[in-house]
Amino acid sequence: MVGLVTHRPFKKEKTIQSVNNKFRRRIKLIYPKFNIPIKRVWIALIVIIFIYWIFFIINNTLLKPDNYIKNIYYGKYSVDMYDNPYLYQKIGDLIRWENVHIVSWLKRKSILSQIKDEFIMVKNINIVQPEKYWASVQLEFYEPEIVIKLWDQKFGIIWDKDFEIFSWNLIWQDVFFVELPQYASWITSLYGLFHEIPQKQFISDMHQIADFFQEYDRIVYLPWASMTAVFLPWNKRIYINNQNSLQDQFKNYEDLQSYYDWFSSLKIIDLWSLNGEKIIVQ
């Protein structure tokens, strides 16, 4: 007799599934997932690079012994323009043995201010490092408002202050200048020169005279007499009194030139003489 065969459930599949589930749980425990936004990764990377860059800059500038100034080179342009040894000595005292990057970046304005307190003609200063232990200094200068010349001596005026210019300096070139007479050769500064007229008026007067007599050969100011002598071509000399109206004296010259028949033969003209409205001529 053939009996009925009953199939028993296949339990192996369930066992394998259970084993797989345990294995998966084990995988999750061993290798957890990281959920970090990519933005934070980039920020952290940038911060690290920035810190490294700062360290690199400091290490190669402030902490590097080669950047400390032992020797100074002054540019040829600066020396040719204004070669005052006291100026360059002061610069040397301010920057020697300092870090070149500190004096050129952090202390430049302070150094420039200290220099200008004593040397008003200095406009700007630039400091660079051409090689280790060296600094190269380049200066820029203000142009004088006017130059007063006495033989080889020259004095520049800037902002109501004067300074001596050495004969070989170029700072006075292309600047309007007025000469002093030979009897003033003993002076060593402009102190006391503007006793009769203020310095601002003197500068204004000289420019007005130069503008009116555009063909002048020389303009000579006569100190302690308040007079200006204008030397024109053809050996003609004009005297102007600086304590009186320049415009009135210019008008006297124009009238004389228009109505005086022998004007061209005149050699000396005093536009404000002591004879009232009369003009002394010769």
- Give 70-92 pLDDT, tens digit per residue: 999 999 999 999 999 999 999 99
CATH topology of domain 146-281: Rossmann fold (3.40.50)
pLDDT for the residue 3: 52
Sorted by sequence, the CB contacts under 8 Å of residue 168 that are 6+ apart come out as 83
Could you state, in order of their start, the residue ranges of all structural domains in the chain? 12-60, 66-141, 146-281
Q: E strands within 98-226? A: 122-128, 134-141, 146-150, 153-158, 161-165, 177-179, 218-222
Sorted by sequence, the CB contacts under 8 Å of residue 154 that are 6+ apart come out as 147, 148, 164, 165, 166, 167, 169, 172, 177
- Give 95-110 pLDDT, tens digit per residue: 999 999 899 988 999 9
First CA to last CA across the chain, in angstroms? 172
Mapping DSSP to helix (H, G, I), strand (E, B) and coil, where does residue 193 land? coil
- Report residue 116's pLDDT band, with 50, 70 and 90 as the boundaries: very high
- Quote the Cα angle for 180-268-260, to 5°: 140
What's 201-226 look like in SS3? Answer: HHHHHHHHHHHHCCCCCEEEEECCCC
- pLDDT for 281 beyond 60: yes
Sorted by sequence, the CB contacts under 8 Å of residue 190 that are 6+ apart come out as 148, 155, 157, 162
pTM recorded for the entire structure: 0.73
- Give 43-74 pLDDT, tens digit per residue: 777 877 777 566 556 555 665 778 899 999 99
CATH topology of domain 66-141: Ubiquitin-like (UB roll) (3.10.20)
CA–CA dist 201, 34 (Å, integer): 83
How far from chain centre, in Å, is Cα 215? 34
